[in-house]
Amino acid sequence: MSERRLSESGFPIKAVYDAADLPADLDSRLGRPGEFPYTRGVYSSMYTSRPWTMRQYAGFGTAAESNARYKQLLAAGTMGLSVAFDLPTQMGYDSDDPIAHGEVGKVGVAIDSIEDMKVLFGGIPLDRVSTSMTINAPGSVLLLLYQLVAEDAGIGGSALNGTIQNDILKEYIARGTYIFPPKPSLRLVADTFGYCRKEVPKWNTISISGYHMAEAGASPVQEIAFTLANGVEYVRAALAAGLAVDDFAPRLSFFFVARTTLLEEVAKFRAARRIWSRIMREEFGAQNPKSMMLRFHTQTAGVQLTAQQPEVNLIRVAVQGLGAVLGGTQSLHTNSFDEAIALPTEKAARLALRTQQVLAYETDLTSTVDPFAGSYVVEAMTAEIEAAAEALIERVFEHGSAVDAIEAGFQKREIEASAYQVAQEIDNGERIVVGVNRFTLDEEEPYEPLRVDPAIEAAQADRLARLRRERDAGAVERALAGLRTAAAGTENVLYPMKEALRARATVGEVCGTLREVWGTYRPVERF
């Protein structure tokens, strides 16, 4: 069997790199840390002044169970919370909806109303904790619930700091938790930009995500090309809604994966920063340097974790986290070693956090800015990825827009082809996966995973029934009617949406009202 000498993006990897492999205009491509084109990082001091934000993605079962896990993580030293929601919440359904049966609390926490949100963040200082919420189609709904909980605690919107993923375009490409068609979905994103600029100014209004495309099989080049093309689409939507680029672009953020192929991942992050800075300055005329900065969160590659010999995942995650840090991430989630089996146990989640703490405090990674600057191999790879990603972005826009390309199935087909190639390489042994097709055990050691109590669904239904009995039904209906009117017109829908949630309308009722006006998306398969 010949040893693989191709990168994840398909470039030949040379055994030796030297100065001849560097771009002739390397100095202008590099710049200084914190300066255009931000190849060397978006801040001049990077981790020498403070480490990246250490997040742990967590959420399961009930709001009370997730609240307890968040407090454990904060006590263990995590700097920010990252909330996982269950599938019904992600799809805008209440826990007692028949379509939610069997999924309540399974892959994240069930949130049906402001009452659940109060429990989820009870006892947590929202003015001192940065919170990231992985929620897309109903992202604005969960943000407003978060703001309402903060207001009940006497904390104004100007004190809140965090991110909602709010990236609906990648849902059509790779993940599938969409609700509305693309056009009203983009309107909702733009309304969120406008609302947060006035009401929650420090909030990152979108996390434009390549992570889920990578998990679906996208190569590093595909990951950044399709992500940045989606970013262009969001900027265009906001401009069309009347916003000025420098009014919203500084709050845009991104979300990428970190694989075990460390050198290529570092090069990918550097190339992405360089491309985005040029797009924002040259295509959109951004003047504020913060509008040109590609700030991003990273999560280690869940798709590379294995159920076989799960402890080996600790090594994989350490290497992936190292790549994210060397690539200049602003925040990082390290996966738990048991995530390929079930929801992470408390011990596994703590070990994942400790991995980041070792990188930050026991290595010399935070002693200098951009340690790989000038590396023959990394600079050559960065230039290769940059050129290939720019070419792929052009192919996206040959369809007219990123949405047009999505509706033509372009990105989905490209990712599926990449995923199929990887699967073939694993099956025929060309790609080694430790514990799966090499270095296997005759018998796996037993492991007791964390399990979600199926009684949670009934408990959530009881909470919803009590909520509906006790609230002012007339006030809810009037508030939902106001939302319906706004959705049918041009008013920013977040203001009437907030009033409906304040009146204790549920997530499902709010999303259902928008479904009545905007309809739902039904993908058309093209072969």
pLDDT in tens, 446-494: 878 777 788 999 999 999 999 999 999 999 999 999 999 999 999 999 9
Q: Each residue of 342-351: pLDDT tens digit?
A: 888 889 999 9
Higher pLDDT, 390 or 5: 390
Query: What φ, ψ does residue 148 adopt, rounded to 5°?
Result: -65, -40
Tokens of 51: 């480490």
Phi/psi at 486 (5° precision): -65, -40
Q: Examine residue 220 and say whether the peptide bond preceding it is cis (omega within 30 degrees of 0).
A: no
Q: 419 CB contacts (<8 Å, ≥6 apart)?
A: 216, 217, 218
Asked if the model's pLDDT at residue 340 lies above 60, the reply is yes
Is the per-residue pLDDT at 2 higher than 70? Answer: no
The pLDDT value given to residue 525: 65
Buried b (16+ CB within 10 A) or exposed e, 215-233: bbbbbbbbbbbbbbbbbbb
Beta strands 331-333; 206-209: pairing state: unpaired
Q: At 86, phi and psi to the nearest 5?
A: -70, 170
| pLDDT tens, residue by residue, 56-78 | 888 888 999 999 999 999 999 98
Tell me the average pLDDT across 428-444.
Answer: 94
Residue 527: band (very low, low, confident or very high) from pLDDT cuts 50, 70, 90: very low
Q: How many Cβ atoms are within 10 Å of 94's Cβ, its own excluded?
A: 24
Neighbouring C-alpha atoms within 13 Å toward the C-beta of 22: 14
State the DSSP string of 341-407.
TSBPPHHHHHHHHHHHHHHHHTSSGGGSS-TTTT-HHHHHHHHHHHHHHHHHHHHHHTTSSHHHHHH
Predicted local distance difference test score (pLDDT) of residue 3: 59
Note whether 217 and 388 are within 8 A (CB). Answer: no
pLDDT score of 320: 98
Residue 61 backbone phi and psi in degrees, to 5: 60, -130
C-alpha closest to that of 320 among 305, 309, 310, 306:
305
| For range 417-444, the mean pLDDT | 95
- Tell me: the pLDDT tens digits for 226-256? 999 999 999 999 999 999 999 999 999 999 9
Give the mean pLDDT of the chain.
95
C-alpha 301: how far from chain center? 12
Residue closest to 171 by CA, chosen among 194, 147, 195, 188: 188
Which domains are delineated in the chain?
19-427 (3.20.20.240)
Q: Locate 59 and state its tokens.
A: 């959420």
Rounded distance between C-alpha atoms, residue 504 and residue 468, angstroms: 8
pLDDT exceeding 90 applies to what percent of the chain?
93
Q: Is 20 exposed, middle or buried (0-12, 13-18, 19+ CB in 10 A)?
A: exposed
